[in-house]
Amino acid sequence: MQKQNPSFFKILIGDFASALRLPPLFVEIFGEKLSPTLSLVANAAAASEKKWAVKLKKSGEHSLFGDGWDVFVKDNDLAAGDFAVFWLMDNYSTFQVRLYDYTCCEKQLSSSRFSPAGGKSTNLDRNVRVKKGEETDESTKSVGTMKWCNNPSFVVSLPPRDKKMIIPKGFVEKMGIAGKRCIPLENAQGKRWEIKMRNQGDEFAIYGGEWEDFRKANRLGKGYLCSFELVRRYGDQFLQFHLEKKARGRPEGTKKKIN
């Protein structure tokens, strides 16, 4: 790919899944040369030379990627906040596309998502599981799995109330939050707690009085299965709490009623 190839970028926001509008100035300069049927070649599929056919359509004064764009979005697992750079190749019918997620790193998708050139693409579950940690103390055993849904998240079985809660090391490092001293934690009602976070050798944990307050306010006990979703929105960043499953017995901090 040569440096002089014309290009444009798009931040994927709003209703991008069914169509994507091209920048007006780009269309003004190159629109008459563009083929009505375009090929998109993404970084994730370069090894298999997978191409996506996308129709160029007009909507009023605007030109958009139309039919076929939704398949490209689905196959490349594009989400709101992702960043795409499009380079127009010399034949005016092909765009080389580089895709980045909100970590500012290039999206890495398994090559098994794509069949050999000319074949149909296949779908994979958006939830990506990684292996459990191999720590030994009770609070660390609470660490479950890490997954990707609309936002990256991890799942834990809560340790006893007087214990810290371990965050998967891979999650912290990949999300770029290893240097944080605290991180907001938000429940389903939108209430927030500023929770302390620390790095102790090979593990990351949240702890302290605010963590205790959070557990009490949300009536969370040992063994409760919870997920924490990292949300980035309008410059804000926080962990969104979801209760996946309650444990048997009473939440910690509650008393048994005596008849």
Strands (DSSP E) along 44-93, which ranges? 52-59, 62-65, 83-88
Q: Which CATH superfamily includes the segment(s) 7-113?
A: DNA-binding pseudobarrel domain (2.40.330.10)
Say which range, 15-19, 92-96, 149-153, 203-207, has the weakest mean pLDDT. Answer: 149-153
Average pLDDT over residues 136-160: 57
Average pLDDT over residues 129-158: 50
Predicted TM-score (pTM) of this structure: 0.45
| Per-residue pLDDT at 94 | 95
More confident residue, 226 or 235: 226
pLDDT at residue 190 greater than cutoff 80? yes
Pinpoint the residues of the chain covered by CATH 2.40.330.10: 7-113, 138-245
Level-2 CATH architecture, domain 138-245: Beta Barrel (2.40)
21-32 confidence digits (pLDDT tens): 999 999 999 999
Distance of CA 183 to the CA centre of its chain: 18
| Per-residue pLDDT at 162 | 65
pLDDT at residue 80 greater than cutoff 90? no
Average pLDDT over residues 165-172: 86
CA–CA separation, 78 and 224 (whole Å): 32
CA–CA separation, 53 and 38 (whole Å): 6
| Per-residue pLDDT at 109 | 61
